[in-house]
Amino acid sequence: MQIGEAATASGVTAKMIRHYEAIGLVPVADRRSSNYRDYTHRDVHRLAFVRRARDLGFSMEEIRELLRLWTDPERSSAEVKALAQTHLSELDEKIELLQGMRSSLNHLIKSCHGNHHADCPIIDALQGELPIEYPHLHQREHRHRS
């Protein structure tokens, strides 16, 4: 099948398929005599695996390792679980950071009158005239020092 069909079947855009091939995440598809890429069902299955891993937020290096484990019949599920647990911990940290950023931004928005006057606490905070509350950063720093 051609790249467009592989893209539709796997849920990965043709542009991303080319990118994954360029970085060696997936093998470059064989070429037909017409020079079109020729994807097999196995290629599509691998691309869908990558898409699902990306949907879960795994990095390219983590996906590369997951692909290696997937194709290794001698793999240990403990390796897969450890990789997933590490990724989950990273996601938890990102969520905490985003929640703190949201809280800080929400505080600034509530402080702004949103009227036709030029004075705005959001602009003042961004240019350094008002402090921005960063409770999420202090919690992370404290936790990492412990």
Q: What is the mean pLDDT of residues 10-19?
A: 97
Rg (CA), the chain: 23
Chain Cα centroid distance, residue 53: 9
**38 has which bridge partners?**
30
pLDDT digits (tens, 9 = 90+) for 48-73: 999 999 999 999 999 999 999 999 99
Whose tokens are 């009227």? That residue is 115
Q: Are 101 and 136 a contacting pair, CB within 8 Å?
A: yes
pLDDT at 35: 77
pLDDT digits (tens, 9 = 90+) for 16-47: 999 999 999 999 988 887 878 899 999 999 99
Highest mean pLDDT among 66-70, 101-105, 109-113, 135-139: 66-70
Burial class (CB in 10 A: 0-12, 13-18, 19+), 137: middle
C-alpha distances in angstroms, 52 versus 57, 105, 110, 114?
A: 9, 32, 38, 42
The answer to whether the pTM exceeds 0.85 is no
Q: Are 47 and 10 a contacting pair, CB within 8 Å?
A: yes
Locate 30 and state its tokens: 């064989």
Locate 141 and state its tokens: 């720093």
